[in-house]
Structure 1
Amino acid sequence: MFDEYYLLFRYEITNLRHQYYLKRLVSWAEIELDANPLLSMEMKEKIKKT
């Protein structure tokens, strides 16, 4: 029983951490894309798809 809770807890933490890094990555990408408009059109389409 304890192990199940522990694994669930670890999973939640990892999931939150991944979401945080994903948000950081996307916001960094958006900053990069604003600097390069040609690239931005392609990448924005890819970001929308994911």
Structure 2
Amino acid sequence: MVFQYHIKEIILSFLLIFMLFVNIVLVFDKIIFVPRTKPPYLCSQIQTI
């Protein structure tokens, strides 16, 4: 029982951290808004991979 409780706690905390991270990424995306859909450095990185 105790072990399951810890697993639930870890999963909940991970979800919270993930949601915070997504919110931060979205906010930065709005702040650093590039009018072009694909910036050149991203295209070059995709081609190298």
TM-score by length of 2: 0.65
Unaligned runs of 5+ in 2: 39-49
Larger radius of gyration: 2
5 Å matches for 1:1-50?
Answer: 5-38=1-34
Instruction: Flag the structure with more relative contact order, 1 or 2, with Cα contacts below 8 A and sequence separation at least 6.
Output: 1
More helix by share: 1
Question: Identity over the aligned pairs, expressed in percent?
Answer: 6
Q: How far is the alpha carbon of 1:32 from its aligned partner?
A: 0.3
Root-mean-square deviation (Å): 1.6
Unaligned runs of 5+ in 1: 43-50
Q: Which residue identity does 1:8 align to in structure 2? A: Q
Count of paired positions = 36
TM-score by length of 1: 0.64
